[in-house]
Amino acid sequence: MRYRVRHITTYAYSEPVTLSQNLAHLAIRGSVRQQVSEARLDIEPTPAVVRRRSDYFGNPTDAFTITSQHARLVVSSQSVVQVEAPITPDPESTPAWDDMSLQGGGSDLAAAEYRYDSAQIPCAAVLRAYAQPDFTPGRPVLAATLAFNARINREFVYDPAATNVSTPVLDALDLRRGVCQDFAQVLIGALRTLGLCARYVSGYLETTPPPGRPRLVGADATHAWAQVWCGSQHGWIDLDPTNACIPGERHILVAIGRDFADVSPLKGMVLGGGQAEVTVGVDVERLH
């Protein structure tokens, strides 16, 4: 499936900003199943410096500095990407989760580093207790994780008013409600407490309007899901607890990290500015 993705973030400040330094995770990450043919980043006002580089996790990032005084910042990203559905193994053919727990990432150190606490996801005993019913001894790791993924979807309520980007994962667990970021981080935290390697994915999801309703430009949103390590034979497998599914060609992966803090779409610091009003518009358009 081929898509054009537009992501526009606008900051309107109550007082002038004299210096702004930012880091953007807006460029879509290329992979075997994602081929990026166009990528453009427009920033107003024009930055004094823009640097594109790959971060520690292999994600493309853009760091930029604005030295001219401004009261409004607009960051607009536009990409064209071809997405192929992943080839997913039979869940029952994956290794037993408890064997994977003992091995951690095995000989793959790049996987093993996703087994531990991170800034926003502590390895708490309460997360292990919540996941444990689906992880019976000897159960294949992907089969167990899919069952837990589906249970989060059943037992949590999608409620954008319940949490924000800074809500601790244990608070989201207590509430049993939140948004895709919360669902994904509960899943990741629980897997890590079981000794499994799991990581956070930020991206986009193509949405379909209700029957009879027009498609609204800019009405889409960023999305988040998780990946679990299923051994060197199967590698990383994506899971979306918000939708109780394995992500397919409608999921567009942007960046991978330990948690949301590693892959925030846009973050930075300003001198001045007073209060800021932030608006975000996302549009995922299927191209024919």
| pLDDT tens-place values along the chain, 288 residues long | 999 999 999 999 999 999 999 999 999 999 999 999 999 999 999 999 999 999 999 999 999 999 999 999 999 999 999 999 999 999 999 999 999 987 765 557 889 999 999 999 999 999 999 999 999 999 999 999 999 999 999 999 999 999 999 999 999 999 999 999 999 999 999 999 999 999 999 999 998 776 766 655 545 789 999 999 999 999 999 999 999 999 999 999 999 999 999 999 999 999 999 999 999 999 999 997
Q: Amino acid identity of 182? A: D
Residue the block writes with tokens 């029952």: 92
| Domains of the chain from N-terminus onward | 2-84+264-287 (2.60.40.2250), 91-263 (3.10.620.30)
Which two tokens mark 106?
Answer: 């095995």
Listed in sequence order, the residues at least 6 apart from 99 whose beta carbon sits closer than 8 Å to its beta carbon are: none
106 DSSP 8-state letter: T
Rounded Cα gap, residues 70 and 72, in angstroms: 6
Which two tokens mark 57?
Answer: 């996790």
Q: What are phi and psi of 232, to 5 degrees?
A: -65, -25
Rounded Cα gap, residues 50 and 179, in angstroms: 32
Residue the block writes with tokens 């080839």: 87
Rounded Cα gap, residues 99 and 20, in angstroms: 48
Q: What are phi and psi of 86, to 5 degrees?
A: -75, 155
The model carries a pTM of: 0.94
Half-sphere exposure of residue 255: CA atoms within 13 angstroms, side-chain side: 23
pLDDT score of 213: 67
Which two tokens mark 279?
Answer: 């608006």
Q: How many CB atoms lie within 10 A of CB 90?
A: 10
215 DSSP 8-state letter: P
Which two tokens mark 56?
Answer: 């520690």
Half-sphere exposure of residue 33: CA atoms within 13 angstroms, side-chain side: 17
* Cα–Cα separations (whole angstroms), residue 148 to 58, 174, 184, 253: 28, 17, 12, 22
Q: What are phi and psi of 187, to 5 degrees?
A: -60, -50
pLDDT score of 214: 65
